A and B are shown apart, each in its own frame.
Chain A
Amino acid sequence: MKRILERIVELLLTISGAITTIVILLIVVFLFREGLGLFQSSNVEKGYCLCVNTENTVLQLTPFQIKQIFDEEIDNWEKLGGPDEEIVVFRFSDSFLDSYSEEELGKNLEFLPEKLGEVIRGTPGIIAYLPVQYQPINQRGVRILQDGKIKLSDFLGGSEWIPTATPSPQFGVLPLILGTLWVSLFAILIALPLGLGVAIYLSELAGEQMRKILKPAIELLAGIPSVVYGFFGLVIIVPLIQKGFHLPVGETAFAGSIILAIMALPTIITVAEDAMQTTPQAMREASLALGANHWQTIYKVIIPYSISGISAAVVLGIGRAIGETMAVLMVTGNAAVIPHSLFEPVRTIPATIAAELGEAPSGGPHYQALFMLGCILFLITLVVSISAEIISKNKSQAKGI
Chain B
Amino acid sequence: MIEAKNVNFYYGNFQALKDISMVMDDHTVTAFIGPSGCGKSTFLRLFNRMNELIANTRLTGECLVNGENIYQKSIDVTELRKKIGMVFQKPNPFPQSIFENVAYGLRVDGVKDKHFIKQRVEESLVSAALWNEVKDKLKKSAFELSGGQQQRLCIARALAISPSIILMDEPASALDPISTSKIEDLIHVLKKDYTIVIVTHNMQQAARVSDKTGFFMLGTLIEYNDTRKMFLNPEKEETQNYITGRFG
Interface residues of A (CB under 8 A from B): 208, 280, 282-293, 296, 300-301, 304-305, 396, 399-401
Contact = CB atoms under 8 A, between A and B. Distances in A.
Given A282-B90, A399-B95, A400-B141, A292 B50 contact: no
B78 A293 contact: yes
Given A291-B161, A304-B95, A305-B95, 5 more contacts: A283-B94, A287-B108, A291-B82, A300-B94, A401-B141
Contact of A291 (B50, B90, B98, B108): B108
A279 to B, nearest CB: 9
Interface of A, secondary structure class, is helix
B136 interface: no
A292 B104 contact: yes
Interface residues of B, number: 34
B66 interface: no
B96 interface: yes
Contacts of B86: 285, 289
25 contacts: A284-B53, A285-B53, A285-B92, A286-B92, A287-B94, A289-B88, A290-B81, A290-B104, A291-B79, A291-B81, A291-B108, A291-B161, A292-B78, A292-B108, A296-B108, A300-B104, A300-B107, A301-B95, A304-B95, A399-B95, A399-B96, A400-B95, A400-B142, A401-B141, A401-B143
B45 to A, nearest CB: 9
B173 to A, nearest CB: 14
Interface string B141-182: 111000000000010011001000000000000000000000
A400 B100 contact: yes
Given A285-B88, A286-B154, A296-B108, A208 B55 contact: yes
Contact of B50 (A288, A300, A399): A288
A356 B38 CA distance: 72
B55 to A, nearest CB: 7
Nearest to A290: B105
Interface string B39-77: 000000000101001010000000000000000000000
Contacts, number: 86
B96 A304 contact: yes
A345 to B, nearest CB: 46
A120 B117 CA distance: 87
List the 6 closest A-B pairs by CB distance, nearest first.
Answer: A400-B141, A291-B82, A282-B92, A290-B105, A292-B108, A400-B97
A286 B90 CA distance: 11
A290 B82 contact: yes
B50, B88, B94, B139, most chain A CB atoms within 10 A: B94
A400 B96 contact: yes
B81 A288 contact: yes
A401 B98 CA distance: 11
Interface in B7-58: 48, 50, 53, 55
B185 interface: no
Interface of B: 48, 50, 53, 55, 78-79, 81-82, 85-86, 88, 90, 92-98, 100, 104-105, 107-109, 139-143, 154, 157-158, 161
Contact of A301 (B50, B94, B140): B94
A289 B85 contact: yes
B94 A289 contact: no
A282 B95 contact: no
Given A285-B53, A287-B104, A280 B96 contact: no
Nearest to A305: B95
B143 A286 contact: no
Contacts of B161: 290-291
A284 B50 CA distance: 11
B79 to A, nearest CB: 7
A287, A300, A400, most chain B CB atoms within 10 A: A400
A300 B95 contact: no
Contacts of B82: 290-291
B81 to A, nearest CB: 5
Contact of B88 (A282, A296, A400): A282
A308 to B, nearest CB: 10
Nearest to A306: B95
Contact of B95 (A290, A292, A396): A396
Given A291-B79, A292-B108, A400 B158 contact: no
A282, A283, A290, A300, most chain B CB atoms within 10 A: A290
Nearest to A396: B95
A283 B92 contact: yes
B135 to A, nearest CB: 16
Contacts of B96: 304, 399-400
Contacts of A284: 53
Given A290-B158, A296-B108, A401-B143, A280 B92 contact: yes
A286 B109 contact: no
Nearest to B81: A291
Given A282-B92, A289-B50, A400 B143 contact: yes
Contacts of B85: 289-290
A300 B48 CA distance: 21
Contacts of B143: 400-401
A105 B225 CA distance: 125
A311 to B, nearest CB: 14
Nearest to A304: B95
Nearest to B94: A301
Contacts of B139: 400
A394 to B, nearest CB: 14
